[in-house]
A = this chain, B = another copy of it.
Amino acid sequence: MVRVTVPVPGRAYEVTIGPGVLAEAAQHLALPSSASVTFVVSDRTVSDLWFDPLAASLRGAGVSAVLLTVPEGEDAKSLQAYGTLVRQLAGREAHRDDPIVALGGGSVGDLAGFVASTYMRGVPCLQIPTTLTAQVDAAIGGKTAINLPEGKNLVGTFSQPRGVLVDLEVLKTLDDRSYRSGLAEIAKIALTLDLELLAALERDPRPIVERDPAALEDAVTRCVSAKARIVAEDERDAGARLVLNYGHTLGHALERLDAFAGRTHGEAIALGMVFAARLAESRGRATGLVARTARLLSSLGIDASSALPPAEDVLAAIRMDKKYRGGVRWVLLDEPGRPRVVDDVSEDEVRMALEAIGGSRA
């Protein structure tokens, strides 16, 4: 078991990582001493698997757990699901010191985090992410969000949880596509921020692909630590945190396009990373990065070879990015481990790089 501190000034908290920590939740979570009840937000699939051991641990500490189920996947992140949840809390007379526990993937964590940061102007939030993506990325750092019909994550808060429990056991039941989506985020951290992790993945990707517990604990801990450093430096996404967006500018744009419906987030950002490597190489940096990125992703079983939608559609989708204001900022690598935020990438450059990666894979 490992503990990583997220040293956000004034609101530092711990991420506890290890196999089986969920069933020992009461030991590891920083429950307010006044808490006698927790409200566990989860979807049906996850709660069927993991609510009982969580509730048993809490009960052992004299804290009851009330399950509030939300729709599966992105459907949890609607205004309607938000309204339902805050009204359920009010109807059950949840109070300011009653913690909300997010038990699930990124969508559950985003919704429950937003609810916790706004119900009664903020109640304690504990995150128990149950997908690899949420464990290495979404549950760390305090970004909460819901979607609007007009776009994803358009409403939310920056609000740090009180604690995060990362149970590696729960990954055993995760389906392959979802797991590989998480591997793409791990590859992102390796390429941008952790050369030792990159070396380990390139040396032998098999342990992590096969969900070897020791390899997972190491990789997850490295990713959480890297993200913790970045978040502490830039809680509100004004600078350093942009690095975590590596591969995401194109990735998010692809996710906005119908032609990309059905792809995982991991596949979208995998393509985004190959594309960012192409942009960097076309600017005379990071020689060989396209091939190296493609090799890494492939060795992790991640498909980065989807056909791209037409370039003009992609450009239009990029312009809709909520970070867009007159120009898009891209994260490019000078070389692995040396990310740089650039804001002078022209649409022509993007067009050419899209053709290049489209062509190289045809």
Contacts and interface: CB of A to CB of B under 8 A. Distances in A.
Interface of A: 34, 79, 83, 86-87, 90-91, 95-97, 114, 117-122, 143-145, 148-151, 154-158, 236-237, 322-325
A90 B154 contact: yes
A117 B34 CA distance: 28
A144 to B, nearest CB: 8
Nearest to A148: B90
A34 B149 CA distance: 27
A357 to B, nearest CB: 29
A209 B150 CA distance: 49
Contact of A96 (B114, B145, B322): B322
A326 B151 CA distance: 42
A149 B90 CA distance: 9
Contact of A325 (B97, B144, B150): B97
Contacts of A96: 322-323, 325
A76 to B, nearest CB: 16
B118 A118 contact: yes
A154 B82 CA distance: 13
Contacts of A236: 121-122
A79 B120 CA distance: 14
Contacts of A144: 121
A116 to B, nearest CB: 11
Given A87-B150, A148-B87, A151-B90, A156 B325 contact: no
Contacts of A87: 148-150
A150 to B, nearest CB: 4
Nearest to A151: B90
Contacts of A322: 95-96, 120
Given A95-B322, A325-B34, A122 B86 contact: no
Given A118-B155, A121-B237, 16 more contacts: A79-B83, A79-B86, A86-B155, A87-B149, A87-B150, A91-B150, A96-B322, A96-B323, A96-B325, A119-B154, A119-B155, A120-B154, A121-B144, A121-B156, A121-B157, A121-B236
With a 10 A CB-CB cut-off, give which of A114, A148, A151, A323 has the most chain B CB atoms.
Answer: A148
A330 B74 CA distance: 44
A157 B155 CA distance: 13
A122 B158 contact: yes
A120 B86 CA distance: 20
A237 to B, nearest CB: 7
A139 to B, nearest CB: 16
B150 A90 contact: yes
Contact of A86 (B86, B154, B158): B154
Contacts of A156: 118, 120-121
Contacts of A83: 79, 83
Contacts of A237: 121
Nearest to A84: B79
A219 B325 CA distance: 43
15 contacts: A34-B325, A79-B86, A83-B83, A87-B148, A87-B150, A90-B150, A91-B150, A95-B322, A95-B325, A96-B322, A114-B118, A117-B157, A118-B118, A121-B155, A121-B157
